[in-house]
Structure formats: structure tokens, C-alpha cells
A and B are shown apart, each in its own frame.
Chain A
Amino acid sequence: MAKESFDKEIQFLRLLALTGGNYDRQQFAGRLGISVHTFDKTIRRLKEVNGDADFADLFRYNYADTAEPVLLFLYRAKSMKESESRRLPIILTALKQEPMTAAALLDVCDEQLIDSAAAPPDEKTIRSDLRYLEEIGVIRREPSGRPYRYRLNNDLTDCLTREELIELYEFVDIMANTQIPSVQGYLLRDNLKKAIKATVSESPDDSWQEEWLEPFSYRYHYDARILDEAHLYTLLRLIREHRFISFQYYSPSRKRSYTAQNTNPLFSRDNEPRRQHMLPLRVVYDHQYGRWYLLGTTPGGRIVKYRMDGIVDITAEQEIDARLCEQYAAKLDEHTRYSWLVDTGRTVTVRARFFKPAPPQNDFIQERVRMQGQWGQIVEEDAHSFIYEIKVNGYTEIRPWLRSFGSSCEVLEPAALRESLIEEWKELMNDYESF
């Protein structure tokens, strides 16, 4: 399969999802770094695949009420030749009925496409379609000899009873919504939905309810996370192949401290960022924000980190020796062992006192610290408070989490972190002084 670039669409959809679609065309185009004309073209294309729905409306839904991933349509946006989009359904529908040979399928296509403007396919075309469908596992060859007969490979759903299908569907729904990666899960979920609907038609006395297809709701979901999965498999493959890569990097914020210093994009005259060159080694998903990072080394062996949402136009470059690659990976793992997220700064010990809520409330503070505190430990505890201790690479990344506890958390060490939090709380108090 040719590599299809969805870079522009991904960037646009991310902006749309993050802002709620409230910018005007000019603002969108400006932020995407494309002309208004190109922007309009992108919109037209996306609307075509999304059945003309208003984009802004897409994101005006109640997040808790639906598990439909709105951004999934990016993965459905692949365009096809008209003739192909007519021919493949005929082949697949025929194979759903019974196993068939390429010659028989050719006849079926001839017959059904007789009124169509396009010329009926030749045998070579049918064979290449079958090869593609077999390769992606949608159909399979029957074990008998030549001429080969093919059938639709829906064993997974065919072997299950309706009750079992529903249980599988609900399992897939949960896993797609709570685990990474999830795009394939969402695609499978859609297909299982169709499979369940198909079983209903066979048993008309069943009181099947449409609403059962939304069995659970999920709160505080990061929708945009599934956009970065577009790059995930490419990157994981290149990591496995020990290959250097290059890409354009649009730093999401110029002042970030996560990206190593001289990797900041230098904008040349044509506004294209300088291409980054690196050996990818690890992908990190940040649960707090729902963001992805790519970590690796430069050709010189220096550790570099990039936000995956800033990566555009990835190209595979030279391969390096597997053993050397393992050494780099081991070094990176060593340096990120104490990273709250991806910081590889100096290791410090953070000590914080957490205050327990007054009884009869259960100790939800401790519960949260134990759940979210990663490898940190509770080292002391009394009736009113406990002390949590963690070794981390720099305290920048853990700071927001500590602050989110408000007055239930008092940082004891390091002194600099303690002082900076006091300063920040003072500023915040001034901001809200009128209350």
C-alpha cells in the first residue's frame, strides 16, 4: 500500500477538537500555516468523507453521553477510485454468500456492473483485489487446490452466538476506550456492531434495543489522542528496524523545556521547519494530558524528545547496527527511569506531606496518591497526614500533579520547589482576591 499522507488533516482535526471549532477560516488557516484556499480544500475533502456534517457540531456533544470517537473518521478518509469502490463491495458481498473462485467473481462483477459507466474489470484486476483482501486478512483461501476458492473471513463473529457477540462487543468497547492503542479497537467495535445487528434480523422476536450499542459512558476522555496513533505504527516499525528517521517538527510551544536545546525548529524563509534527524527508540503516552512523545537519540548519541503531535512528514533513513541501537535504548531507559513523564534532568527527591480529609470521609487523598503517584512511596503516616517520597528527574513534570491537590498537599523538599509553590499560591490568591 502506498503511504498516504494525512498530516494536514490530522493537524486540522486536532486544532478543531482542542478549540471546539470556534475559530474562523482565517484563524484556522493562520494557525495551521496554510492558505485559506488550502484550508477550504481540506474542509471540503473532510466533509465529503464525513457526510457533510458540520464540523463545529461534531465537538458540541456531551462528552459523557457517548463513546463514539468523533475523530475516528480520519481513518475512514482514505479515498478510492470510483470503480474500485463499486467492485470491492460486489466481491465481498458475493464471498459472504459462498466461497468463490476468481473466475466466478469475474462473472459476478460483469453481471452487476453491466449498467455502470465504468468498463467491467479484467481477471488481472480481480486477482489483485483478492490478493489485497487476503493480505489484510479480510478473506481467506479455502484449503482445496487450484482453482482457489475464497471466502469472507468472518469466523470470529460467525462462531459466536448473539449473547456472546454482545459480550465481546462490550469488552471491546471498554478496551478501546480505556487502553492504548485504541484505533483498531474502535474499528472492530464498529464491525461487531454490524455483526450484532445482522443477528437480530435472523431472530425477529428479539427485543433488541439500539441504545444497547452505547453500553457505557466514559468521562474525561482525551479524544485527540487517537489522532497520534496515525504515526504510532510507522514509528514502532522503524524502531524495530533500528532506522534513523527524519521529519519536520512544529514545536507545539517554543518555550518547552522537554525538547533538547538545539532541536528547536529554525524557520527558514519558506516557513518550513528544518528537518529533524533522529534514531527513534521509545514512545511514551502521557495519561495526564492524553499526549504522545517520541524519544530517541541524535546521530551523535544525544537524547532527544519530541511531542508526537508536532511531527509531520516522517521519512525512513539509514539503518544502524542492532547492538548499537540496543546500547542507545539501554542508555535512554536508564535516563528516563525516574522521569515523571519524559524529563531527563537531574534526579531529585521530592517529599510532600498530604493531609487526610476529616472523618467520616474516607481517605480519598491517599487513595489518589497511591493510584497516581507512580513509583513514589508513602514513608510516614499519622492520623492526620502522610508523607510521600519520590525520586524524579527534575520536578517540573510532577509539579502540576502536586499542585492539583490544592491545600491537601504541602511540598517539603526540595526547597526550591517548595518556595516556587508558595509564590504561585500567592499569585493565585491575589488573582482571586475579590472573593
Chain B
Amino acid sequence: MNLFEKIFSYQLASRLEETATYTLTSQERAWLKMMLEQPAAAHALDLQTLHKIGDCLLEEEIPQLQQALTEKAGSAAGQTYSPLLRPLRLIMRRRQSMEIRRLNKHGQLILSQYGVPWKLEFSMARREWYLLWYNMRTRAAMTTRLVHIQSITEIPLPPDQYEPICQRMQDICSVERQEAVIQLLPMYNMELTRILHAFSCFDKRVEFVEQEQTYYIYLNFAGNESEYVLNRLRFLGKRVRVIEGDHLKRRMHDTATRALARYGQNADRHDID
């Protein structure tokens, strides 16, 4: 398989676009055939659709990757697909609201609530799907793990209500961006790419100050992502130091103090929770 086939080139694609022509290569079909082998496919597509697609892919050969290609340090039990994705997408496409029965984050059952599904989000870190939705009664933005949803029923929504709710969700979710400045300690400069890889899922810019031979990473992230930023900071340990961002600094100090207390060191200053 050659990913650099000329059929994929921009020059060609932009000309084809003018006549609304598109092409499908064997390698794309072979990739699809490989993905259809995954259990997720059975939930994602109707049996009839699966048969139709399968018939078109009879001649393609599945690339033999299994033996030579391994994924490490991933999440074993993580879901890729949830059977709830389809019904939720359908409600979203029809711009309707829903009745939702779900568990809260402590695992307790919450009885029926009304809301508008807004976005479906997958966390690569947790390998888990989330529904972002608008709670009609409390007028709050909600984030619910799909595994916590017991049932969803479509409820009609007056057409003029959908847009304002989406706008409101957009507003709620786009406030509260934070910036933190993270310094890479110069003695670890040769690990730069490793550290940047660890932060590569965030909006950021990197500055190198020649005189100090020091890299500064300016991270920009949503307020509700600070837990994950902390996770990455702990992951990297002493290679990096937060130099701006009081919340992160305080939390890192807390973590270090409590961790030391676990090891029976300096347990005098904070209670362990």
C-alpha cells in the first residue's frame, strides 16, 4: 500500500471537485474491510447495510497487520463504539429533545430528565464516549458517560427552540479557557520531543529562550481539562515545572505532599483524603 498515490493529490482532487466526482481506491476499501472485522461494526451498521458493503468488498484483501503491528499501553477494556451513538445521532440530526434516564457519577439512578443532546465526544485517554447535553429544567450543561445512560426516548421540540439551546451550550462550553506556562528543565532538553508528545493533544505554543537554553510550553486548555493536564504533569514528573497557573501549582504541591505522606514522609502538614 502506498499512501502517496497520485490519486490522493490536491491537484487532482480540486479538479475532480468541480465535477462532483470522487474516487475510491482498493486501499481505502481494504482498510474498511479490516475495520468491519471489529465487533463495533455489528452495532454501528444494520445487518442489511453490512451485507451490501460486504458484497462490494469481496475482492479486497485485508492488509496483514496483526502479527507485525502491536499497540502497547492502550486501554484494554475501552469501548470504541456504543449502541447508543446511533439513536442519539438520530435525535440530533432531527434536532429534537430527549427523555433521558441515567446514573449519576456515583452510580445512583436518576429518574427521567428532559434535555437536548448537543455533542458526542470521545475521550482518547479513557477510551470512552460522553454525551454533552442541555438540561431543560436546570438549564445547565451536562456531561454524561454513555455507559451511565439507561435509556433515551425522543421527544418533539418546537423548531425555534433548538438553535438558541445550541448557542447557549456553545457559550457555556467555550468560557473558562485557561493558560498555563510549563518550563522544561534544561537538563532534560534532550527529552523535548517526548515531552511535547505528552502535551500534543493540547492547544499550545513553544518558545525557546536561547540565553537560558530553556523551553517554555504555553498550554491553552478548557477549564474542565485541568484534571487531564495534571495527569500529564504527574506523568512527566520532575522534567517539567508549572511556572504560571496557580491552580495547577497548588494541585501539584498538594499531590507531592500527599504522595510523600503515603510513603510515610512529611505527613505532618496535610490530612490524607
Instruction: List residues of A whose CB falls within 8 A of some B CB.
Output: 1, 4, 6, 17-23, 27, 49-51, 59-64, 73, 75-80, 84-86, 88-89, 92-93, 96, 133, 136-138, 152-157, 159-160, 164, 167-168, 170-172, 174-175, 177-181, 183-185, 187-188, 191, 194-195, 197-198, 201, 209, 212, 215-224, 229-230, 232-233, 236, 239-240, 252-255, 281-291, 309, 339-342, 355, 358-362, 368, 370-372, 374, 400-401, 403-407, 409-410, 418, 421-422, 424-429, 431-433, 435
One of A183, A374, A433 near B73 (C-beta < 8 A): A374
A164-B4 in contact given A177-B122, A220-B123, A341-B72 (Cβ < 8 Å): no
Q: Does B138 touch A at the CB level, under 8 Å?
A: no
Contact indicator B272/A407 (Cβ below 8 Å): yes
Most B CB within 10 A of own CB, among A85, A239, A283: A85
**Interface contact B49-A167, CB-CB below 8 Å:** yes
Provide the B1-41 mask, 1 if CB < 8 A to any CB of A, else 0.
11111111111110111111111111111111001001011
What class of interface size applies to chain B in its complex with A?
35 or more
**Contact B263 A21, beta carbon cutoff 8 Å:** no
Chain A positions within 8 Å of B7 at CB level:
88, 133, 136, 138
B103 to chain A, nearest CB (A): 9
A contact residues around B52 at 8 Å (CB): 159-160, 164
- Other A-B contacts than A49-B10, A172-B35, A407-B272, 18 sampled, CB-CB below 8 A, are A6-B4, A85-B9, A159-B52, A164-B45, A167-B49, A178-B122, A184-B27, A185-B35, A191-B22, A219-B225, A233-B1, A240-B64, A252-B194, A253-B192, A286-B73, A291-B197, A410-B262, A432-B252
Instruction: Give CA–CA (A216, B124) in the complex, Å.
Output: 12
Q: Does B201 reach chain A (CB closer than 8 Å)? A: yes
Q: Is the CB of B49 within 8 A of A164?
A: yes
Contact A137 B26 (CB under 8 A): yes
B119 at the interface (CB under 8 A from A): yes
- Inter-chain contacts of A291 with B (CB < 8 A): 197
Residue of A nearest to B1 (CB): A233
- What is the CA–CA distance of A88 and B9 in the complex, to the nearest angstrom? 12
Q: Which of A20, A281, A410 has the most CB of B within 10 A?
A: A20
A249 CB to nearest chain B CB (Å) = 14
B93 to chain A: which residues have CB within 8 Å? 209, 212
Whether B139 is near chain A, meaning CB under 8 Å from some CB there, is no
The verdict on B110 contacting chain A, using a C-beta distance below 8 Å, is no
Which A residues are in CB contact (< 8 Å) with B53? 156, 159-160, 168
A283 proximity list for chain B (CB < 8 A)? 68-70
Q: Which of B237-262 contact A (CB under 8 A)?
A: 237-238, 241-242, 246, 249-250, 252-253, 255-262
Pairwise interchain contact A1-B68, C-beta atoms closer than 8 A: no
CA distance A179 to B122 in the complex (A): 13
B140 in the interface (beta carbon within 8 A)? no
Q: Chain B residues near A198 (CB, 8 Å)? A: 20, 22
Asked whether, in the complex, the Cβ of B75 is within 8 Å of the Cβ of A340, the reply is no
Q: Please list 6 pairs of residues, one from A and one from B, whose beta carbons are closer than 8 Å in the complex, sorted by A's number.
A: A20-B218, A138-B25, A220-B124, A253-B191, A431-B252, A432-B250
CB neighbours (8 Å) of B192 from chain A are 253
Q: Is A219 touching B123 in the complex (CB atoms < 8 A)?
A: yes
Contacts of B241 in A (CB 8 A): 431
Known pairs A160-B52, A184-B31, A240-B64; A371 contacts B73 (CB<8 A): no
Residues of chain A with a CB closer than 8 A to B253's CB: 429, 432-433, 435
Interface centre among B9, B231, B236 (most CB of A within 10 A): B9
| Structural contact, A341 and B73, CB atoms closer than 8 A | yes
Could you tell me if B255 and A407 are in contact, using CB atoms closer than 8 angstroms? yes
B250 lies within 8 A of A435 (CB): yes
